[in-house]
Structure 1
Amino acid sequence: MADDITDTDATSAVIAGPDEHALGEELAELGVPVSRIEGVVSADALETAGIADVDLLVLTDVEEATAIPVAKELNPSVTVVTYSERSLPEFVAAVADLAIDPELLSPVVVAEELSSTGGD
Structure 2
Amino acid sequence: MNHAVVVGSDPDGLGEALEARGVTVSRAAGTADRDALVDAGVEETDALVVTDVGLATSIPVARELNDSFRVVVYSEDSIPEFARTSAGLVVDPQLIDVDTVAEELTTER
Same fold (TM over 0.5): yes
Provide structure 1 residue ranges, at least 5 long, that are not aligned to the other structure: 1-9
Match runs of 1:81-100 below 5 Å:
81-100=72-91
* Cα distance between partner residues in 1 of 2:48 and 2:13: 15
Q: Report the Cα distance in structure 2 between the residues aligned to 1:13 and 1:91, rounded to whole angstroms.
A: 22
State the SS of the aligned residue for 1:39.
coil
- Per-residue Cα deviation, 1:8-43 (whole angstroms, up to 9, x for no partner): xx5210111011111111110110000012321101
* Cα distance in 1 between the residues matched to 2:51 and 2:108: 19
Question: Scaled by the length of structure 2, what TM-score is found?
Answer: 0.94
Q: Against the structure 1 CA distance between its residues 71 and 83, is the aligned structure 2 distance closer, same or farther, given a 3 Å change threshold?
A: same
What is the letter of the counterpart of residue 22 of structure 1?
G
**Displacement over 3 Å in runs of 4+:** none
1:105 aligns to 2:96 (yes or no): yes
Aligned partner of 2:31 among 37, 40, 56: 40
DSSP-derived class of the 2:48 partner? strand
Q: Distance in 2 between matches of 1:89 and 1:29?
A: 30
Provide TM-score, normalisation by structure 1: 0.85
Task: Look up the match of 1:77.
Answer: 68
**Number of residue pairs aligned between Structure 1 and Structure 2:** 109
Q: Which amino acid aligns with 1:105?
A: I
Tell whether the 8 Å contact from 1:71 to 1:78 is kept in structure 2 after alignment.
Answer: no
Gaps of 5+ in 2: none
Alignment RMSD, CA only?
Answer: 1.4
Q: Answer yes or no: is 1:18 the counterpart of 2:9.
A: yes
Q: Does 1:61 align with 2:13?
A: no
Q: Distance in 1 between matches of 2:6 and 2:86?
A: 17
Identical amino acids, percent of aligned pairs: 50
Please state if 1:114 is matched with 2:108: no
